Amino acid sequence: MGDEGRFGRFWFDLGRRELFRDEVPLRLGGRALDILHTLIAAKGDVVSKEELLTRVWPGLVVEENNLQVQVSLLRKTLRDETSGDSHLITVPGRGYRLVGLGGTRQGPALPDKPSIAIMPFQNMSEEPGQDYFTDGIVEDIITALCHIRWLFVIAPNSSFTYKGRAVDVKQVGRELGVRYVVEGSVRKAAQRVRITAQLIDAASGAHLWADHFDGGVEDIFDLQDRVTESVGRCNFRQSGTSRDRTRQAQAY
């Protein structure tokens, strides 16, 4: 049946995006399924409301009430009929998590469209204290990529957990459930900035694209847009539905 996450009497087929109780399929809307997929991918860890909003409604500004409605529906669906407790719990002040999760067979399944994580860029500036400048650039690039509807982008509060750590891109791909990873660096000297970025296939470790972008500090937003556009133009090998492929071809 493909990869699946099991908890109590429930199991979720990650590849087919179907939820079952025992052997009976349960009907859920797309948003609720996106939330469930994200919680299972977290492997029992807490997922913040901000990350869920970013993952489930990418590129959109929505009221938190929309998330609460979907979580309430999902909590009722995942209630254990014997104990009356739900497998979906709220962690006050932090977010939500699944309990009783038995794990997945091969880690989080890839979404049905190209998925990407933008890693924290390395600060190569002469001033070590410029980390905030580098992080701000990366966060702006992530926000811009979230507006590409056919692209599944990991939220910065997930990808930034790897900041300062030497990690293998294959490990990142498994842990975050993405096919592609972008690494890079920012060098700022006087009033000049150079952004270097490279796109890597997380499954094979192969470099698919690399480039650098130079300009003045006053051009920083233009440089960020150029990075975003270049990533969006890459020939992603993993495609979603035919509609997503059409959107991808017409995006730029």
Q: How far apart are CA 240 and CA 246, in angstroms?
A: 10
- Residue 33 has a CB neighbour count (10 Å cut-off) of 17
CA torsion, points 204, 205, 207, 209, in degrees to nearest 10? 80
Buried b / exposed e along 198-220 (16+ C-beta atoms within 10 A) = ebbbbbeeeeeeeeebebeeebb
pLDDT tens digits for range 2-32: 345 788 788 888 777 889 988 788 999 999 9
Q: Which range has the top average pLDDT, 14-28, 69-83, 151-165, 203-217?
A: 203-217
pLDDT at residue 108 in the model: 55
**Residue 193 pLDDT level (bands cut at 50, 70, 90):** very high
Q: How far apart are CA 217 and CA 24, in angstroms?
A: 58
CA distances from 16 to 4, 60, 161 (A): 9, 25, 29
pLDDT at residue 107 in the model: 46
**Three-state DSSP class for 68?**
helix
Q: Between 49-56 and 64-77, two packed helices, what is the crossing angle to 10 degrees?
A: 90
Domains of the chain as residue ranges with CATH = 4-98 (1.10.10.10), 115-250 (3.40.50.10610)
pLDDT tens digits for range 44-55: 888 999 999 998
In sign, the C-alpha dihedral spanning 5, 111, 164, 46 is: negative
Nearest Cα residue to 119 out of 213, 166, 184, 50: 184
Nearest Cα residue to 116 out of 32, 54, 201, 48: 201
Strand 122-123 and strand 95-98: the pairing is unpaired
Q: How far apart are CA 227 and CA 138, in angstroms?
A: 10
With 0-12 / 13-18 / 19 or more C-beta atoms within 10 angstroms meaning exposed / middle / buried, residue 88 is buried
**Three-state DSSP class for 25?**
strand
Contacting residues for 30 by C-beta, under 8 A, at least 6 apart: none
In sign, the C-alpha dihedral spanning 203, 205, 208, 212 is: positive
pLDDT at residue 102 in the model: 65
pLDDT tens digits for range 94-150: 889 888 776 433 445 677 788 999 999 999 987 767 888 999 999 999 999 999 988
